[in-house]
Structure 1
Amino acid sequence: MVKGYVSIVLHSHMPFVRHPEIDDAMEERWLFEAISECYIPLIDVYDNLIKDNIKFQITMSITPTLMSMLQDEYLQRRYLEYLNKSIELSEKEIVRTNSNSELNRLSLFYNDRFNKLLTIYKQYDYNLMNAFKKFDKLGYLEIITCAATHGLLPLLTINQETVKAQIATGVQSYIDCIGHAPKGIWLPECAYSYSLDSILKEFGIQYFISENKAVLNGSPKPKYGTHAPISTPNGICAFARDMESSYQVWSNFTGYPGDFNYREFYRDIGYELPNEYIKPYINKSGIRLDTGIKYYKITGKTDDKEYYNRENALIKVKEHADHFASSRHNQIDYISKHMEQPPTITCPYDTELFGHWWFEGPDFIDNFIRRSSENWTNYSLITPSQYLDKYPIVQCSSPNPSSWGENGDFSVWINPSNHWIYRELHKCAEAMIRLANTYSSPTDTQRRALNQAARELMLAESSDWPFIIKNNTTVEYAVKRVNTHLERFNKLYEDITKDSIDIKYVASLEELDNIFKNIDYEVYRGNIY
């Protein structure tokens, strides 16, 4: 008997890291690693579930930047080169490790794995959106959208037209790719503020995913907490993250990914083998990088790591998936006694956790879905829109401004390390709005320059850049990306307003920053400054 529902929501996002102007750009590997470790393995999981007649429902946001990159011919070609290099390295590893049976078994595992990735990549004609669109069409996967370049919307609301442009472009790019309008949206970083629901309504969004604080601190206080959606004053529904299920996966102390049997993320042969051997498989400049071949398991809090045992790891995955399914069963059994309608448990995670940070993550998803399909469970898997179709009467409550970042506020993205970004973004946003209001009947050349200016502004607005700066990782790259896009915007603005557009310069930017083929600068039209 179904007493409630579980909604798995995977947020799939990569910043726009397309660099044809750089020979072997390191940042493109962020995308390639995610494709090899997360996206293709999940596609394989979904295909096998369908093949085995397992009924399931899962929700994935695929951000416009990621959609664009997955469909980009240059990046498709670059990933194919990367994957072929991985296969070549794994073949060399089979030879090198011949005298060590444990390592040799692992090198054979990686060789089989990389070749399978290649087979699946070819199966979908080197365009992974073909796979995701197939699952969407078959009704197993609900794809939701995101803001155009993952800009942190509450920090951009000083210019409402900027927020509208992010949402409008995100929705349009989704329609261009998927073929129908999105029902839901993953607000970047789950960041919500009061002014957003009217904009979401304008663009046909039915629901969004929020941090638990947004709902628990809503006004009036929600009757069912995070176990049912709430409706904003404009009728947009918020589904809040369930913290019990979140801790079981995310927690540094009790989360499944920390089990000692799982693969150790931080030990990769790209850093450990002699340079002359590994050189062809790392960055061309000689910088050592992950190759994806990792021979050790977490083992424990020790530097003396033991070899990874794939069979033991899969046994542990099954145990954890069983525990997760049993926990949702027990959770719903308890909650349902106190509700007048079946509860829904919303479980949002970064897709990149499953496979990249937690190598066995896709296997966990597979095992959990299979366990959830069995008769003993008292819940069914569901998407947020399906829950709303079943239970359309939703309590009205205004969500509290919040994010799923540290402290539940916006301080990760605006603090002394990165606040300088917003002064420049707001200045350029005002300029973009002026352009949109001024040029109502542009020439073809002006329109190209205006559209490119809009692209450059949006790319500068990505929440990834202040996040990277705050966390002190690839800071130089993040700062450069912000400044480069703002410099390009400012030059375009000056050339447009002085009627001195350099069409060769515009064309060069259209090639470099070729995101959003159908962008329309007029989405910025609004108040005149």
Structure 2
Amino acid sequence: MKGFLSIVLHMHLPYVRKAGEWPFGETWFFEAMAETYVPLLMGVDELVKAGINPKITVNITPVLLEQLTDDYLNHKFEEYLENKLSLIEKDLEKYHDKNLRNAIKYMHDFYQKVKNAYVERYKRDIIGRFKQLQEDGYIEVITSAATHAYLPLLSEEKAIKAQLDTGVKTYRKFFDRKPRGIWLPEMAYRPTGVWVLPPDGWKAYRRGLEYFLAQYGYEYFFIEYHMLEGGKHVATYPFPSDLKYPISEERKYIGETLRPYFLSTDYGDVAVFARNKAVSVQVWSADWGYPGDYWYREFHRVAPESGMKYWRITDKSLPMSEKMPYEPHKATERVLAHAEHFVGLVKGLLANFSKKTGETGIVVGAYDAELFGHWWFEGIDWLVAVYKKLPNTGISPITPSEYLDKHVEVKYYVKLPEGSWGLGGGHWTWWNDVNKWTWRDVHKAERKMKRISKLYGKSDLLDRVIRQAMRELHLLESSDWQFLMTTGTAGDYPIKRFKEHAARFNFLSDLVLKIANGESLENKEIDELRKIEELDNVFSDLNPRVYNEH
């Protein structure tokens, strides 16, 4: 036995339902569905049919869960697929180059297969299929904070608990069980001690995040490699090249990334798995990782009317107009070669760990799911190829839960530093000069939520408004807004969205106080309440009392 491989895919999108379409908004959801989520299920089903149990761990954030099961979005997704097929057919009429037409036909076949799988095999219910795969033991589904809030920068411990509480409740609603693991948003962690908080560096004593995780029954979470093995953090996400950010500090060595460690709390131990640096960089980096191969599909060149991608990377130095047509068979050859290389890389990591420690290790490859298929078009095929090459290598696929249940012989306890997988390995991506103004509004809303939640249970109308205010606070706390402001890749969309949720929260909190004072609501206020409820109808199971529980 050489050891274990645990692939963890993080599925997440911010709430985009009825919040813009193209280029920012619902289109993000439809692209991820068509190129990542449905193809991922198709890939897992292919492995199952081949007699291979991949034991992939899939994190589906609660806010994405709600959108994946939304009738409005699912109906529009089917329309999206039909429209894409129609646009590709028009491209076939427009372009006459033989090689380009072959690429266009390939993309038409791809989208037709996705549509057939979505409609016929999965009956427009991909969460139902994820649930069945988990029940059959082929995957493990874990969860995250409700709206992917950046937990170390929230002002109130109760706000952290509320994000976790809603996350657990949402998971139970769809999977009929409690989650065992959690993907901390942005892999952001802070230990017990004095937390320095935005926007201006005020300080407050806080318990480490593991205490909250243990309180909600979570057994494990993930961190970025530099928080355990030390050294400097290397950014693997494709941030804009001209983005100026603090240089990563040199971290001290604490432990190995090929074994889990444990953090002790009053509620029990919580295990932590570190993302492995070598397999992360190899898969994520477009500069020196697999996705940058010249035979793979070019993400940035698109056909003018259809928005489809029919070209290959060709050469990174070439302008987009000189990219060559995509050749699927050549890309497949590279997929197989890269899968072979990856398996060899994992074997080497496990062998070196065993030689150094005498232990059987676990390599954790944790990635954004949308990298596979959407950003790196061949990524799903590569995953399938990796799993097909694992038999007879001595490498066994495994979920973190199974590893904890069967293979922990010695518990290694550790104290972790704070950090994340953001630029520089700290909190800068979510707290810098571009976005720090948002935190004043977030923290003010958290304090206000704590006050108005004390009125929960007084009347049906009060409860209705307080629950909607809690939804708006969750959506306001989404880490996506600060992230997109930092990268600048979505224009003013994140600013607009942030301000909308702040305004809705403030309107609702004012309504709460008005109702509590015995005043009647005006018709226009009731109409606005209904409008907000229809737009932001996420999370049916909320507990506003969490803001005042001890």
Answer whether TM exceeds 0.5 for this pair.
yes
Q: Is the 8 A contact 2:335 2:378 kept in 1?
A: yes
Match of 1:16 in 2: 15
Match of 2:99 in 1: 102
DSSP 3-state at the match of 2:333: helix
AA aligned opposite 2:166: T
Q: Residues 460-488 of structure 1: CA distance to partner in whole angstroms, max 9, x if unpaired?
A: 11000001111112241111111111111
Shift, 1:509, TM fit = 1.3
Shift, 1:92, TM fit = 1.8
2: CA distance between counterparts of 1:55 and 1:456?
40
Q: Is the 8 A contact 1:58 1:382 kept in 2?
A: yes
Q: Is the 8 A contact 2:229 2:255 kept in 1?
A: no
Q: Residues 4-60 of structure 1: CA distance to partner in whole angstroms, max 9, x if unpaired?
A: 11111111100000117x676741001111111111111111111111111221111
Q: Is the 8 A contact 2:145 2:167 kept in 1?
A: yes
Match of 1:486 in 2: 502
Q: Is the 8 A contact 2:220 2:273 kept in 1?
A: yes
Structural mapping, 1:51-70, within 5 Å? 51-70=49-68
**Same amino acid, percent of matched pairs:** 37
Structure 2 residue 419 is matched with structure 1 residue 419: no
Q: Residues 61-108 of structure 1: CA distance to partner in whole angstroms, max 9, x if unpaired?
A: 1111111111001101111111100111122222223x3221221221
Q: Is the 8 A contact 2:62 2:145 kept in 1?
A: yes
Match of 2:5 in 1: 6
Q: 1:475 to 1:525 in 2, by over 3 A?
A: farther
Q: Is the 8 A contact 2:85 2:111 kept in 1?
A: yes
TM-score (norm 2): 0.88
Match of 1:207 in 2: 220
Structural mapping, 1:153-302, within 5 Å? 153-156=151-154, 158-194=155-191, 195-216=208-229, 224-234=255-265, 235-270=269-304, 278=305, 291-302=307-318
2: CA distance between counterparts of 1:113 and 1:52?
21
Match of 1:465 in 2: 481
2: CA distance between counterparts of 1:137 and 1:47?
14
Shift, 1:504, TM fit = 3.1
Q: Residues 306-359 of structure 1: CA distance to partner in whole angstroms, max 9, x if unpaired?
A: 111100000000000000001111221121122243111111111111111111
Q: Residues 212-245 of structure 1: CA distance to partner in whole angstroms, max 9, x if unpaired?
A: 1222359xx8875111111112211110011111
DSSP 3-state at the match of 2:143: strand
CA RMSD in angstroms comes to: 1.9
1: CA distance between counterparts of 2:187 and 2:114?
31
2: CA distance between counterparts of 1:252 and 1:56?
25
2: CA distance between counterparts of 1:187 and 1:164?
13
**Match for residue 117 of structure 1 among 98, 114, 118:** 114
AA aligned opposite 2:541: N
Shift, 1:298, TM fit = 3.4
AA aligned opposite 2:538: I
**Match for residue 332 of structure 2 among 293, 314, 329:** 314
1: CA distance between counterparts of 2:340 and 2:293?
15
Match of 1:136 in 2: 134
Q: Residues 109-152 of structure 1: CA distance to partner in whole angstroms, max 9, x if unpaired?
A: 11111111111111212122122112111111111100000000
TM-score (norm 1): 0.91
Q: 1:27 to 1:139 in 2, by over 3 A?
A: same
1: CA distance between counterparts of 2:163 and 2:21?
31
Q: Is the 8 A contact 2:188 2:419 kept in 1?
A: yes
Structure 2 residue 81 is matched with structure 1 residue 83: yes
Q: Is the 8 A contact 2:373 2:379 kept in 1?
A: yes
Match of 1:286 in 2: none
1: CA distance between counterparts of 2:487 and 2:255?
36
Structural mapping, 1:424-503, within 5 Å? 424-437=441-454, 439-499=455-515, 500-501=520-521, 502-503=525-526
**Match for residue 406 of structure 1 among 396, 415, 423:** 423
1: CA distance between counterparts of 2:482 and 2:349?
37
Q: Is the 8 A contact 2:261 2:411 kept in 1?
A: yes
Structure 1 unaligned blocks of 5 or more = 271-277, 282-290
Which piece of structure 1 moves more, 310-319 or 84-93?
A: 84-93
The count of residues paired between Structure 1 and Structure 2 equals 501
AA aligned opposite 1:228: R
Q: 1:67 to 1:492 in 2, by over 3 A?
A: same
Match of 2:243 in 1: none
1: CA distance between counterparts of 2:377 and 2:423?
24
2: CA distance between counterparts of 1:306 and 1:212?
37
Structure 2 residue 350 is matched with structure 1 residue 332: yes
